């Protein structure tokens, strides 16, 4: 395994771990968490880009959130329920927990 592939796996897993940490803390956030932007909503709001995925009838289907780019490019894809990482020719995907995908979708569908 190349160093780039190792870095990519680490970066994708880090995004997954951060999502899980903030999701597990929903309802238990402190005033300090809000002040420091360390909440689930703050984390997904800080994504670099949002792509809406629509059905043929233009109803909401999901989102793709750009979590990183430059070295590795990482997308959180709620429609496929995966976190997808790319770095050069390397690819790495990990499963996005359904409950987390649903929480993200509820937030962005409300905005949509």
CA distance 22 to 2: 31
Task: Give the tokens for residue 97.
Answer: 């927990």
The number of distinct structural domains making up the chain is 1
**Domain extent for 32:** 3-111
Tens of pLDDT, residue by residue over 48-94, are 999 999 999 999 999 999 999 998 999 999 999 999 999 999 999 99
Contact 92, 12 (CB under 8 A): yes
Tens of pLDDT, residue by residue over 3-47, are 999 999 999 999 999 999 999 999 999 999 999 999 999 999 999
Residue 1 confidence (pLDDT)? 84
pLDDT band at 112 (very low <50, low <70, confident <90, very high): confident
């Amino acid at each position: 395994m190349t160093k780039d592939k190792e870095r990519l796996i680490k970066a994708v897993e880090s995004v997954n771990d951060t999502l899980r940490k903030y999701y597990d803390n929903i309802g238990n956030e402190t005033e300090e968490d809000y002040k420091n932007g360390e909440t689930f909503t703050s984390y997904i709001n800080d994504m670099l880009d949002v792509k809406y995925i629509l059905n043929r009838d233009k109803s909401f289907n999901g989102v793709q959130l750009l979590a990183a780019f430059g070295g590795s490019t990482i997308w959180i894809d709620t429609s496929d329920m995966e976190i997808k990482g790319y770095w050069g020719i390397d690819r790495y995907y990990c499963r996005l927990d359904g409950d987390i995908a649903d929480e993200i979708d509820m937030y962005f569908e409300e905005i949509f």
